[in-house]
Structure 1
């Protein structure tokens, strides 16, 4: 629908389907809010933009 740009940008959230399938909580933060690959900064400063259904229920 949006072409190659949309597909490339969804690569970061593709793993959320897997965590949701197994009933695990999962979330992705905005790359502009914390450095990519730095889990501690993502936890401390990251802005959540996508969460799994399980995570939404627990919140």
Structure 2
């Protein structure tokens, strides 16, 4: 089972990719936008997780 978890629009937005119960990748959006406590949709974090997991 593949799960892409997304937390957005409140405080620190982030994304995580979990495959078969193992965390494959996780990132906070502020690491890419350099905006502290970035609450926007984590498009960069999602892209990073999918790329790191081999899905993009």
Q: Give the helix-richer structure, 1 or 2.
A: 1
Structure with bigger gyration radius: 1
| TM value normalised by structure 1 | 0.25
| TM value normalised by structure 2 | 0.26
